[in-house]
Structure 1
Amino acid sequence: MDATTNALLASLPQRLSDIPARWAAQAPEAPAVSQGGVVWSWRELARAVDDGVALLQGLAVRPGDRVMIVGENCAAQIALIFAAARLDAWSVNVNARLSPGEVDAIREHCGARRAIYTVAVSPDAAAHADRHGAERTAQPLLGELALGALNTACEPEPVSASGAEQVAALVYTTGTTGHPKGVMLTHRNLLFIAAVSSRLRQLSPADRVYGVLPISHVYGLASVMLGTLYAGAALHVVPRYAPQALIDALDREGVTVLQGVPAMYARLLEAARGAWSPARTRLRFLYAGGSPLDPTLKAEVEQVFGQTLHNGYGMTESSPTISQTRVESPRRDTSVGPAIPGIELRIVDGEGADVPEGLPGELWVRGPNVMKGYYREPALTADTMRPGGWLNTGDVARRDPDGALFIVGRTKELIIRSGFNVYPVEVEAALNSHPAVSQSAVVGRTVADGNEEVVAFVEPDPSRTLDLDELQRYLAERLSPYKCPSQIVVMQAMPAAATGKVLKGLLKQQAQDMPPSSQAKGGK
């Protein structure tokens, strides 16, 4: 590790809870968190964290216990995360919009000592609380919550004095089938990303950041929430995404920084076209992550908002950021930028040998952001980690001579059609460039003799008419024949996680289950 990274690591506090304590001492009356017209200063956030600590202690939460917070973005959730961190408990943030089965599977897998539900902002959290028989309570600062029963079978995990070893958060990755997969992220993992993220965005206490990405997801937790507060900037938290509400916040709330996923920006464009002017805002930084960004969407967002749409790449197991474009070096392409400071990259072939520069290969990552492992899954951890501390991302990437990284696709999403490799991201970029397509998702479907077909799901732009025959001709002019979809399926809304990320596992299953008659003629 270089001297600069070592110096940064040495400057990090030991625990997440040191963030509000530091700013409460330095700028007690400055705004820290706002929600629904209510603003907490740093002094008030610190008091709310104290209240959260007292609440958790009264609920018999011990160091090493897991505390499951079921809800949607709110100030109380933030205070509870910091409170759990101070007690050396692990916060397990679960989006209340998950299904009952998903929530129950996470509760069972993590063995939470207590579950707390943010019922004041989330009807779904209230429904889960009622299902679990949780008791309602009203806290002076934290507001209305529901408290689950004590799990006397919970065994606390070992506690380390070092933030590099002590787990702060157990983050469950989005999935559609199988058992949940909990990623153990330490205080240092998250604080490192918070510090680097805030520096790369050039955040200061004068900034106001729009916090709509779910804090239950690592992007919303580490980059948005912790990165914002680490810099002393103000975080405006919103439980759910609504394009018009975001436009209103840009107009009236003085938002300067916006981070989102591509699907969020696609919805925002539909609401903003012809009805919004960037001259009315203080917006200075736009960023997309969480899923591939296609060039058409990037260009349209930049035209409407008058700002570069920066791009980045990461995954839950890397807390999440691995690379991102720089404010001082905006790009016109869809590169995810160079590696963030302190992160090492390797691009390797199937045998683990480095490939020549510019060629695609599997991306490996090493640095202070790499997870401690999967909770209660030693075999899965061993399967993902490589000797020397390298994390195998499972993604295919290439790197230009200037260090810029391009994500080609996921190893598991690779479609092999008649012996040719098809990466869905390339087909999706062609589909999304059509003016009548709002967003798309491409999956493979297994057919006879182990071959695969390319199936595309498209969500049309509601302001335009989509003709499937014309779209097929459009693709034929831009893609090799083996990359063109065998079938295009129109969907009014893609199945998506709370982050906006399309759930390709569901689409792949849908494609596989389609009857032959539907497969032959295409469908809507």
Structure 2
Amino acid sequence: MANVFDPVRRRADTDPDTVAVRGDITASGERAVWTYGRLRSDCLDYAGALLAAGLQAGDRVLLVAPSVPEFVVAYMGIQAAGCVVVPVNTMSTRHELEYVLADAGCSLVIVWDGVGPAAKDAASALGTPVWPLRPGAAQGAVAAQVRDRDPADTAAILYTSGTTGRPKGAQLTVSNLLSAGTIGAACSRGSSADRTGTGLPLFHVFGQASVMMATFSCGGSLSLLSRFDPAAMLAMVRADQLTIMAGVPTMWNAMLHVSGDVDPRDFAQLRVAVSGGASLPSEVARAFEARFGCTILEGYGLTETTALGTFNDIDRGAKTGYTGAAVPRTEIQVRDSDGRQCLPGRVGEVYIKGATVMKGYWNRPADTAAVLADDGWFRTGDLGQTDVEGDLRIVDRVKDLIIRGGYNVYPGEVEEVLYAHPDIIEAAVVGVPHDHYGEEVAAVVAVRPGAELAAEQVASWARERLSAYKIPRIVRFVDALPKGSTGKILKRSIDREALRKVGP
């Protein structure tokens, strides 16, 4: 028997005065700080309030909050009570929240005071009770006893982005989340002396599983930004003397473009920067190391694998373009269209098996069967290839593959070339319908302030580095690309029809 709350409870039993969570640094320099002892007490009080309100083990609770310490209190309180947390994006609309509330059958909505009215309106429409989550997260309830749970019990339901059809709720078990914590800590060689910081949203699997759970599993401290800001992130590195930092490629890129001189000695204690969520352009990784003196190590995982799959070996260092080998207790295979395992160097679909693979989609047996085999192998929908050392390179999403005149074009390869251009700071490559070729290669790019770049210059840059069929014939300039809650570029938000009118 186990509970997701166990790592917090263990650390609080041995070192209650150690800092567990730090919040935003305010303009006055003040911030919210929870020790492990306080966190344990507040989480158990929160659990007690949930049980006093009549919630039962297995009841689903919607949690709408940014990355503040109170998110952790509510999240772990829900776990301690034996309920199931359903964390959602704070920018979700009423329509989106009504769907999740109904689909998950939530018994309660917990919403941060600073979030807009969408969650309350959705709850009102469905007659679901709402609790405000306020600074301090105090409930004044009688502390609950931690509920022991079966490791296979569902502990969290995280809804996928819904790139096709309606969003599906990935059921992550008690064992999935605890395993993600111990595996993540092992990958970063984490210890109780580590100080981890992030601007990732905790409602997303990356921040929740491989950052929060990993930090608590090794008994370290976690510094949070409620909203990512590159200058604030760099200030937090200095103020908290962070040893581990986690983010997505757009965050590293944004930090690179913070004005002012940076002394790498300010970051001497930073052991590793963990990157995930999207492929890391090699130019961004090289520039980050040159400016801050810190190596970014890339990993790969999905919501359905509790954020984990592969990670670059921290002792060996980064291998440019690769997300590393399978993490502990995990297997990776690349298979062709007939289901046969590919030889190194051949592109195929990535499959994952291991301790962090979800138990299935909530109330969707057919969707579960389509991606999760009886022997435990999960079909990711990502295209990749391994090298002779077993390291994985993600080529692209199967659905993002562009087929131009019968030739396969992997957007990630083209984007890598575009990111190497000194004036391009963001790039996304997509396929646009074409009467003759079937699809045409289109690039949407954002350039650095003050730069003047023409579409033909972008195409010429690519022409010098890529085969003719991979060159973007359509180039559109934007101030910034659309991004999701983690900062990941959202290609599905790019209007293909509008690009078609741009050219060629």
Answer yes or no: same fold by TM over 0.5. Answer: yes
Question: Where does 1:253-402 land on structure 2 (aligned, <5 Å)?
Answer: 253-271=240-258, 274-281=260-267, 282-402=269-389
CA distance in 1: counterparts of 2:133 and 2:410, whole angstroms: 51
Partner of 1:511: 496
Contact 1:360 1:396 in 2 (8 A): yes
What per-residue deviation string (whole Å, max 9, x for no partner) do you get for residues 38-85 of structure 1? 211111001110121122123322111100001111111111111211
Q: Following TM superposition, by how much is the alpha carbon of 1:513 offset from its aligned partner in structure 2, in angstroms? A: 4.3
Q: Following TM superposition, by how much is the alpha carbon of 1:376 offset from its aligned partner in structure 2, in angstroms? A: 1.2
Partner of 1:193: 180
CA distance in 2: counterparts of 1:353 and 1:140, whole angstroms: 53
Range that drifts further, 100-109 or 255-264: 100-109
Partner of 1:53: 47
1:64 corresponds, among 58, 63, 66, to 58
SS in 2 for 1:344: strand
Contact 2:108 2:131 in 1 (8 A): no
What per-residue deviation string (whole Å, max 9, x for no partner) do you get for residues 366-417 of structure 1? 1111110011111111111134211011111111111111111111111100
Partner of 1:142: 137
1:434 corresponds, among 421, 437, 446, to 421
Partner of 2:73: 79
Partner of 2:2: 14
Partner of 1:469: 456
Q: Does 2:116 correspond to 1:128?
A: no
Q: Does 2:419 correspond to 1:446?
A: no
Cα RMSD after superposing both structures: 2.1
Question: Where does 1:455-494 land on structure 2 (aligned, <5 Å)?
Answer: 455-494=442-481
Partner of 1:100: 94
Q: Following TM superposition, by how much is the alpha carbon of 1:135 offset from its aligned partner in structure 2, in angstroms? A: 5.8
Partner of 2:103: 109
What per-residue deviation string (whole Å, max 9, x for no partner) do you get for residues 291-343 of structure 1? 01111111111111101111111111111110000110113412101110111
Range that drifts further, 208-217 or 445-454: 445-454
Matched positions, count? 487
SS in 1 for 2:88: strand
What per-residue deviation string (whole Å, max 9, x for no partner) do you get for residues 237-259 of structure 1? 22100111111111222222111
Quickly say closer, same or farther: Cα 1:52–1:427, change in 2 above 3 A.
same
Contact 1:92 1:170 in 2 (8 A): yes
Partner of 1:421: 408
Q: Following TM superposition, by how much is the alpha carbon of 1:494 offset from its aligned partner in structure 2, in angstroms? A: 1.1
Structure 1 residue identity aligned to 2:83: A
Structure 1 residue identity aligned to 2:39: L
CA distance in 1: counterparts of 2:274 and 2:209, whole angstroms: 15
Contact 2:281 2:419 in 1 (8 A): yes
Q: Following TM superposition, by how much is the alpha carbon of 1:182 offset from its aligned partner in structure 2, in angstroms? A: 0.7
Structure 2 residue identity aligned to 1:196: I
Structure 2: give runs of 5+ residues left out of the alignment. Answer: 25-30, 141-146
Q: Following TM superposition, by how much is the alpha carbon of 1:173 offset from its aligned partner in structure 2, in angstroms? A: 1.4
Range that drifts further, 358-367 or 462-471: 462-471
Quickly say closer, same or farther: Cα 1:64–1:123, change in 2 above 3 A.
closer
Structure 2 residue identity aligned to 1:268: M
Structure 1 residue identity aligned to 2:405: S
CA distance in 1: counterparts of 2:184 and 2:251, whole angstroms: 20
Contact 2:193 2:220 in 1 (8 A): yes
Range that drifts further, 262-271 or 402-411: 402-411
CA distance in 1: counterparts of 2:210 and 2:320, whole angstroms: 23
Quickly say closer, same or farther: Cα 1:400–1:138, change in 2 above 3 A.
closer
TM-score, with length taken from structure 1: 0.89
Contact 2:22 2:223 in 1 (8 A): yes
What per-residue deviation string (whole Å, max 9, x for no partner) do you get for residues 165-203 of structure 1? 101110111235631211000011111111011112111
Quickly say closer, same or farther: Cα 1:372–1:329, change in 2 above 3 A.
same
CA distance in 2: counterparts of 1:204 and 1:418, whole angstroms: 52
Quickly say closer, same or farther: Cα 1:223–1:140, change in 2 above 3 A.
closer
TM-score, with length taken from structure 2: 0.92
Quickly say closer, same or farther: Cα 1:450–1:468, change in 2 above 3 A.
closer
Q: Does 2:11 correspond to 1:23?
A: yes
Contact 2:176 2:358 in 1 (8 A): yes
Structure 2 residue identity aligned to 1:40: W
CA distance in 2: counterparts of 1:399 and 1:390, whole angstroms: 17
Q: Following TM superposition, by how much is the alpha carbon of 1:348 offset from its aligned partner in structure 2, in angstroms? A: 1.1
SS in 1 for 2:415: helix
SS in 2 for 1:386: coil
Contact 1:109 1:180 in 2 (8 A): no
